[in-house]
Amino acid sequence: MAPEKRHKVTVVGSGNWGSAIAKIIAENTRDHPDVFEPLVQMWVFEEEFTLPPTSKHYNGSSAGPQKLTGLINHYHENVKYLPGIRLPDNLHANSSLHDAVKDSTILIFNLPHQFIARTCDDLIGRIVPYARAISCIKGVAVSADNVSLFSDVISEKLGIYCGALSGANIANEIGMEKFSETTIAYDPPSEDEESTSSSKPAGHSKLTPIPHGYPTVDAKILKTLFHRQYFHVRIVSDVAATSLAGALKNVVALAAGWVIGLGWGDNAKAAIMRVGLLEMVKFGHMFFKGHGIRTETFTEESAGVADLITSCSGGRNFRCAQMSIQRNVPIKEVERTELNGQSLQGIGTSYEINSFLKAHGKEAEFPLFTAVYEILEGKAEAKDLPDLIERDPAPKL
Amino acid sequence: MAPEKRHKVTVVGSGNWGSAIAKIIAENTRDHPDVFEPLVQMWVFEEEFTLPPTSKHYNGSSAGPQKLTGLINHYHENVKYLPGIRLPDNLHANSSLHDAVKDSTILIFNLPHQFIARTCDDLIGRIVPYARAISCIKGVAVSADNVSLFSDVISEKLGIYCGALSGANIANEIGMEKFSETTIAYDPPSEDEESTSSSKPAGHSKLTPIPHGYPTVDAKILKTLFHRQYFHVRIVSDVAATSLAGALKNVVALAAGWVIGLGWGDNAKAAIMRVGLLEMVKFGHMFFKGHGIRTETFTEESAGVADLITSCSGGRNFRCAQMSIQRNVPIKEVERTELNGQSLQGIGTSYEINSFLKAHGKEAEFPLFTAVYEILEGKAEAKDLPDLIERDPAPKL
């Protein structure tokens, strides 16, 4: 029996990863019009864009700068951030944040983390109070004495429940429908009756129930919304580890890049990844007790071990770290010369995590994270990594 | 206080991996003459070898074929199987198996698995009854209705306890002293007093105690014997998973090679590896109950996740599988043209594991292992892997 009401879905953000997720969402709302309003809004931070001659839509003479939303809706392609990928007709680029989220019951957040707070501020009072959210934003917000999950930031600012999506998800590959998996962590308080965890982050006690007539937003409906033949979804309850792993893996990827840059081979890289994975697990248990954190999320889910593998294969942090050794220049210089103004997340995360560990007196318990920081600071060398991460040398007999 | 008696160590086998392990062992016995007899015997299956012009020992004219043991002992290099790597002076190549193991209290087995049974048969009555062994042999012995660990085969044939060593260990990299980690699983019955597991494979009840005066063969002494600055050792109790992972990863590596051959990218490879890792875990728990098998050995140790990563980076199974797709030829043909008479372990293991799963009616519970077999058999195609491994499609709402 079809439900009386259908969920309306909005994707907040339209970069490379935002557009790839929006494509999946729109494919699934189109395929399941019984539970979802097929038309998906995608909020686009409006900008002007000039079609490059490499675009298949370029017609020999440039039309000059045009509005990105107009280009996306006209060509059904995010010509700037996900060029070459056809987006579904039922995905609508919208430059008005307020209009894009109007009446939406499911909000997918997928924007650069520096925009999260102000975007949420702008959304206060503009969303339906019973909306549910998923954050696809990689990383965590770290201050000297606190690590916050972006899902909690969204949740607290808007007074709605927010889960997290993360995985071995290079956006371009997903856009091209090359096979991927992802992890969705979703564990709202019991109003929704799908909770299994006993521990909740603060601020969810006043969660507004979803009105009668709407399908419950649960694991089944999220799977229907995100799962594709080329994008396999597993639903877990552990939001903390799902989010944390996506930040910490970038620190490990720097170290993996360095040892490959040193010419040390696959054994060394695998060793660094293994040690890094265990420090990720340890960090989660030490600082997210009471969040229902589970070792298995790191060691068995796409958001954990698989994302780490992808990041240490050809990810940006890995590649720049490798180049910095091969060219014998500081990684900051590689970042400057190779990334066209973008920054390496691993560097920022490494400094933030180190400040946080220092503030808690726990540096020594995370030898790899600490070694990466020391190497970035020029206080240690990558070639000393085996000694720096050695926790248990051969005993004196 | 130094012990009264020192352990004598013999490496049984002298291939690429055997020679690399023998080098480490001899470095450590040399560095710890208080607990080990420095001279290490390495049993070499005698053969004739002619120094190639590429050898640094080639003097312009070939001396013709010479005995391999003589070459190894003269040049301190296994010129055939680990060329270019200087072996310690205290490592002695010995073509007599009986002489090599005489009075040895620690035996390191490192030979191709087809030679294990006959070599053990030849050793019966030739070893001291209180010897302890470590098997560095990758793989498991599979028949239609049984999977045996090589460590158990050695143990039962010789009536001594045998542990296992496995990890992300490409032998040439270790020979060159590039950083690696490994896992040693050692959990003898309680005569040795270091046991933590309550479950033992059969046949150990009559274990002969190590005579008074010898240092106990425990985690500490094994770490002293194997650990180097460039070769970090972790000791665990789980012999079954340590051994199993080294066999099953080759099946996963075939699938990983196929998806890369298809041009599917790093997301897809990481997904296959994650799914494969979980099937390895499941296989272990299903068929090695009572062996003290632990999920963590697969997901957290070098013998598990790290070895899988290395094997899916540039290992032989991975590369040949990739080539078979790129060239559109059966993998058996790639094996024939690329491997110079050697065989791909992943193919053999895949067929063996499939027969075993069929015999137990469990094929459907291992969709990736089964898919690899079906693809090898030509009954399925690599491009169907996402559907073949899909266990939990989007629900009907």
Q: Work out whether the CA dihedral A194, A197, A199, A202 comes out positive or negative.
A: negative
Q: What average pLDDT does range B248-252 have in this prediction?
A: 97
Within this chain, do residues B194 and B315 fall inside the same structural domain, yes or no? no
Cβ contacts of A219-224, under 8 Å, gap ≥ 24 = A219/A186, A219/A194, A220/B395, A220/B397, A221/A7, A221/A35, A221/B397, A222/A134, A222/A163, A222/A184, A222/A186, A223/A184, A223/B392, A223/B394, A223/B395, A224/A28, A224/A32, A224/A35, A224/A36, A224/B394, A224/B395, A224/B397
Q: What average pLDDT does range B224-251 have in this prediction?
A: 97
pLDDT of A7: 98
> What span, in angstroms and rounded, lies between the C-alpha atoms of A192 and A209?
7
Q: Which member of B232, B299, B397 has the closest CB to residue A34?
A: B397
* Domain assignment of residue A104, given as a range: 9-237
Chain A and chain B share a number of CB contacts under 8 A equal to 189
Residue B151 lies in a domain: yes
Of A15, A175, A25, the closest CA to residue A90 belongs to: A25
pLDDT of B138: 87
> What span, in angstroms and rounded, lies between the C-alpha atoms of A336 and A150?
27
CATH assignment of the domain containing A167: 3.40.50.720
The residues that bridge with B41 in the sheet, in sequence order, are: B10, B92
- Asked whether residue A393 carries a pLDDT value surpassing 80, the answer given is no
Domain final residue pick, B182, B210, B237: B237
Do the strands B40-43 and B9-12 form a parallel or antiparallel pair, or are they unpaired? parallel
Within this chain, do residues A42 and A69 fall inside the same structural domain, yes or no? yes
Instruction: Catalytic residue, from A23, A80, A200, A249: name it.
Output: A249
Query: B14: pLDDT confidence band, cut at 50, 70 and 90?
Result: very high
Of A362, A359, A369, A360, the closest CA to residue A389 belongs to: A369
Please list every residue in chain A whose beta carbon sits closer than 8 Å to the beta carbon of residue B220: 395, 397
Q: Do residue A267 and residue B170 have CB atoms under 8 angstroms apart?
A: yes
> What span, in angstroms and rounded, lies between the C-alpha atoms of B323 and A100?
47
Q: Which member of B168, B259, B309 has the closest CB to residue A309?
A: B309
Which two structure tokens, joined as six digits, stand for A326? 């091969």
Q: Do residue A259 and residue B168 have CB atoms under 8 angstroms apart?
A: no
Domain final residue pick, A209, A237, A265: A237
pLDDT of A192: 45
Q: Do residue A267 and residue B385 have CB atoms under 8 angstroms apart?
A: no
Q: What's the gap in Å between the CA of A159 and the closest CA on chain B? A: 28
Within this chain, do residues A196 and A253 fall inside the same structural domain, yes or no? no
- Asked whether residue A372 carries a pLDDT value surpassing 70, the answer given is yes
Which two structure tokens, joined as six digits, stand for B384? 């169907």
Within this chain, do residues A252 and A232 fall inside the same structural domain, yes or no? no
Q: Do residue A267 and residue B169 have CB atoms under 8 angstroms apart?
A: yes
Contact B213, B331 (CB under 8 A): no
Within this chain, do residues A351 and A283 fall inside the same structural domain, yes or no? yes
Residue B186 lies in a domain: yes
Q: Which residue in the block uniquely carries the two structure tokens 């060398």?
A: A381
Q: Do residue A227 and residue B394 have CB atoms under 8 angstroms apart?
A: yes
Query: B198: pLDDT confidence band, cut at 50, 70 and 90?
Result: very low
Mutate to test the interface with A, among B28, B32, B274, B281 (most CBs of A within 10 A): B274
The residues that bridge with A184 in the sheet, in sequence order, are: A165, A235
Average pLDDT, chain B: 93
Within this chain, do residues B136 and B285 fall inside the same structural domain, yes or no? no
> What span, in angstroms and rounded, lies between the C-alpha atoms of A305 and A100?
35
Residue B95 lies in a domain: yes
Within this chain, do residues A221 and A278 fall inside the same structural domain, yes or no? no
pLDDT of B1: 60
Within this chain, do residues A55 and A128 fall inside the same structural domain, yes or no? yes
pLDDT of B57: 92
Q: How many CA atoms lie within 13 Å of A148's alpha carbon, on the beta-carbon side?
A: 15
Sheet holding B106-109, edge to edge: B91-94, B40-43, B9-12, B106-109, B132-135, B161-166, B180-185, B231-236
> What span, in angstroms and rounded, lies between the C-alpha atoms of B363 and A250?
37
pLDDT of A196: 42
pLDDT of A397: 62
Query: Is B251 exposed, middle or buried, given 0-12, 13-18 or 19+ CB atoms closer than 10 A?
Result: buried
Q: What average pLDDT does range A221-249 have in this prediction?
A: 97
* Total count of domains within chain B: 2
- Asked whether residue B218 carries a pLDDT value surpassing 50, the answer given is yes
Mutate to test the interface with A, among B264, B267, B277, B313 (most CBs of A within 10 A): B267
Q: Do residue B278 and residue A265 have CB atoms under 8 angstroms apart?
A: no
Within this chain, do residues A292 and A227 fall inside the same structural domain, yes or no? no
Q: Do residue A224 and residue B299 have CB atoms under 8 angstroms apart?
A: no
CATH assignment of the domain containing A289: 1.10.1040.10
Please give the full DSSP string across A178-230, using - where no structure is assigned: --EEEEEE----GGGS----S---TT-TTPPPPPTTSPP-SHHHHHHHH-BTT
Domain final residue pick, A218, A237, A256: A237
Average pLDDT, chain A: 93
Of B227, B220, B248, B236, the closest CA to residue B174 belongs to: B227
pLDDT-above-70 percentage for chain B: 94
Within this chain, do residues B220 and B247 fall inside the same structural domain, yes or no? no
Residue B4 lies in a domain: no
At A277-318, the pLDDT tens digits run: 999 999 999 999 989 999 999 999 999 999 999 999 989 999
Nearest-Cα residue of chain B relative to residue A231 = B386
Within this chain, do residues A27 and A53 fall inside the same structural domain, yes or no? yes
Q: What's the gap in Å between the CA of B395 and the closest CA on chain A? A: 6
Nearest-Cα residue of chain B relative to residue A28 = B394
Residue A371 lies in a domain: yes
Contact B338, B347 (CB under 8 A): no
Q: What are the distances in angstroms from CA B189 to CA B155, B184, B199?
A: 12, 16, 9
ipTM: 0.93
Residue B393 lies in a domain: no
- Asked whether residue B193 carries a pLDDT value surpassing 60, the answer given is no
Q: What's the gap in Å between the CA of B357 and the closest CA on chain A? A: 23
User: What does the H/E/C string look like for chain B?
Assistant: CCCCCCECEEEECCCHHHHHHHHHHHHHHHHCCCCECCCEEEECCCCEECCCCCCCCCCCCCCCCEEHHHHHHHHCCCCCCCCCCCCCCCEEEECCHHHHHCCCCEEEECCCHHHHHHHHHHHCCCCCCCCEEEECCCCEEEECCEEEEHHHHHHHHHCCEEEEEECCCCHHHHHCCCCEEEEEECCCCHHHCCCCCCCCCCCCCCCCCCCCCCCCCCHHHHHHHHCECCEEEEEECCHHHHHHHHHHHHHHHHHHHHHHHCCCHHHHHHHHHHHHHHHHHHHHHHHCCCCCCCHHHHHHCHHHHHHHHHHCCCCHHHHHHHHHHHCCCCHHHHHHHHCCCCCCHHHHHHHHHHHHHHHCCCHHHCHHHHHHHHHHCCCCCHHHHHHHCCCCCCCCC
Residues 6+ apart with CB under 8 A from B17: B110, B136, B169, B171
Contact A29, A10 (CB under 8 A): no
Query: Which residues of A contribute to the annotated binding site for NAD(+)?
Result: 13-18, 45, 115, 171, 316, 345
Query: Which residues of A contribute to the annotated binding site for substrate?
Result: 138, 316-317
Please list every residue in chain A whose beta carbon sits closer than 8 Å to the beta carbon of residue B310: 266-267, 269-270
- Asked whether residue A4 carries a pLDDT value surpassing 70, the answer given is yes
Q: Which residues of B are catalytic?
A: 249
> What span, in angstroms and rounded, lies between the C-alpha atoms of B314 and B320?
10
Q: Do residue B397 and residue A181 have CB atoms under 8 angstroms apart?
A: no
Within this chain, do residues B62 and B174 fall inside the same structural domain, yes or no? yes
Nearest-Cα residue of chain B relative to residue A33 = B397
Residue B121 lies in a domain: yes
> What span, in angstroms and rounded, lies between the C-alpha atoms of A69 and B222?
65
Q: How many CA atoms lie within 13 Å of B53's alpha carbon, on the beta-carbon side?
A: 2
At A170-201, the pLDDT tens digits run: 999 999 999 999 999 999 987 644 444 444 44
Contact A271, B302 (CB under 8 A): yes
Q: What average pLDDT does range A9-28 have in this prediction?
A: 98
Q: Which member of A174, A178, A278 has the closest CB to residue B300?
A: A278
Q: What average pLDDT does range A347-368 have in this prediction?
A: 96
Query: B196: pLDDT confidence band, cut at 50, 70 and 90?
Result: very low
pLDDT of A2: 67
pLDDT of A244: 96
Q: Do residue A265 and residue B386 have CB atoms under 8 angstroms apart?
A: no
Residue B171 lies in a domain: yes
Nearest-Cα residue of chain B relative to residue A183 = B271
Nearest-Cα residue of chain A relative to residue B223 = A394
Please list every residue in chain A whose beta carbon sits closer than 8 Å to the beta carbon of residue B181: 267, 270-271, 274-275
